Amino acid sequence: QKEVEQNSGPLSVPEGAIASLNCTYSDRGSQSFFWYRQYSGKSPELIMFIYSNGDKEDGRFTAQLNKASQYVSLLIRDSQPSDSATYLCAVPMNYGGSQGNLIFGKGTKLSVKP
User: ω into residue 114 within 30 of 0, thus cis?
Assistant: no
- Choose, by CB under 8 A, the member of 85, 102, 110, 112 that binds another protein: 102
Q: How far is the CB of 26 from another protein (least distance, A)?
A: 15
Chain center to CA of 29: 18
CB under 8 Å to 24, separation ≥6 — which residues? 4, 5, 6, 70, 71
Least Å from the CB of residue 68 to another protein: 23
Assess 99 for contact with another protein (CB under 8 A): yes
Number of other CB atoms surrounding residue 11 within 10 Å: 16
CB nearer to another protein: pick between 8 and 12: 8
- Candidate ranges 20-28, 42-50, 63-71, 72-80; the one touching another protein (CB under 8 A): 42-50
- Taking the complex as a whole, the smallest distance from the CB of residue 98 to another protein amounts, in Å, to 4
Instruction: Tell me which DSSP letter residue 18 carries.
Output: P
